[in-house]
Amino acid sequence: MNTNQNEVQFFDLHATGIGYLNRFRKVTPNQGQPYYCVTVALLRGNRDSPQYTYVDCNIVSDDALNLLLNLLDPKDDNAKYLAQVRIGDLYAEPFIYQSGNKEGQPGVSMKGRLLKIFSLRKNGDTIYQQQKTPSVVKVPVSAPDFLTRKADLESRGYVWNEAQQQFERQAA
């Protein structure tokens, strides 16, 4: 839970998984701003015979959107994109089938927000891999540029641990 006194408090629900990206698209509603979506077919169960959980995701991260806009090839219908992702705010939305052999029957659609892409493969080849950042950085207090390096590290999410004399990355 986010507990900063100056911010609205909320609960985070994040799921991390691996899945195939399908139906990357721009949605232009009659009212409101256009937005991008993608369906992620998340893999679960036995690796030799996985099952899929489909989640329709609004893409809310500029980093994730830029990756997809730059790395997915809309002209290549045969490409298979496999991504390691973080999805937030998962929820189920019930609906009634409007046509087909299930017409009139109830169904459920999983929804969420695509927050992050850690890696992306196209047809088995890695085309993006998030760079790992060290969780601990040691900078001697006696270093002449200590204050400059301290400011830089703090701006990137590190906190100075006085007892250990090191900077430690905070959980994202």
pLDDT tens for 103-133 read 999 999 999 999 999 999 999 999 999 877 6
Q: Is the pLDDT of residue 2 over 60?
A: no
Indicate the range of 8-22, 26-40, 45-59, 138-152 predicted with least confidence.
138-152
Dist. CA 57–CA 133, nearest whole Å: 27
21 Cβ neighbours under 8 A, 6+ residues apart: 38, 39, 40, 41, 68, 72, 81, 82, 83
Of 44, 42, 43, nearest to 56 (Cα)?
42
Task: Compare 15 and 144 and report the one with higher pLDDT.
Answer: 15
State residue 131's pLDDT score.
76
Average pLDDT, the chain: 88
Helix H segments across the chain? 62-71, 146-155
Do the Cβ atoms of 158 and 167 come closer than 8 Å?
yes
Delineate the domains of the chain, giving CATH numbers in brackets. Answer: 14-129 (2.40.50), 136-169 (no CATH)
CA distance 104 to 68: 35
- What is the tens place of the pLDDT at every residue in 70-92? 998 878 889 999 999 999 999 99
CA 141 to chain centre: 36
How far, in Å, CA of 82 to CA of 104, rounded? 33
Q: Please tell me whether the overall predicted TM-score, pTM, comes out greater than 0.85 for this model.
A: no
The CB density around residue 42, as the number of other CB atoms within 10 Å, is 21
Examine the pLDDT at 38 and tell me if it is beyond 60: yes
Report the range of poorest mean pLDDT among 36-40, 48-52, 92-96, 139-143: 139-143
3-state secondary structure of 121: strand
